[in-house]
Amino acid sequence: MLEKGLGKTLLSEEQLKDIVVRLGREITETYKDSENELVVIGLLRGSFLFMADLVRQIQLPMTTDFMTVSSYGDGTVSSGDVKVVMDLDETITGCDVLLVEDIIDTGNTFSKVIRMLQNRDPASLKICTLLNKPSRRQVEVPIDFCGMDIPDEFVCGYGLDYAQKYRNVPYVGIYTGPVDEGSSVTE
């Protein structure tokens, strides 16, 4: 069974669609008069489904790119040292950059990614997240486009995972399954 280990549905497929459509409109409105190239950057792996749906709702010319960063090394507890595992293919200097993430939790890793990208001199850098957990924030992150604030629950589905599972579940649910020994269910 696809959803074994997921309890209550936090966001249904229909609710996710409504959020993505709303965010697409907001982003289109924000960038419609800009003369700069729009580059939409997804942080892998979690953002891939959300970003695929989102870019189809943005009614503007754009390019897309992806980054993979890690702050976990071999364990499940963040080391605080952000390493770029896969960098952008193109330069973002002088571009309007929209950084897309699935969920912003503590903000520690994400704030470091923001600084890395700001050092590449984009014309602008805005942040879009599907889900936001403000109750867990340790470092403030400037979120420009937010799908929904959520409670402090570990969630999976629609790209979000636990131990690389559940990404393909078409809704966002609260994880209720067993926690592997030595693992952490903090995002």
Catalytic residue among 105, 144, 152, 180: 105
* DSSP run (H or E) holding 110: helix 108-118
DSSP state of 171: S
Residues 16, 18: Cα–Cα separation, whole Å:
5
Residues 162, 54: Cα–Cα separation, whole Å:
23
Residues 93, 45: Cα–Cα separation, whole Å:
24
User: How many residues in total does the chain contain?
Assistant: 187
Respond yes or no: is residue 18 known to be catalytic: no
Q: What are the residue numbers of the active site?
A: 105
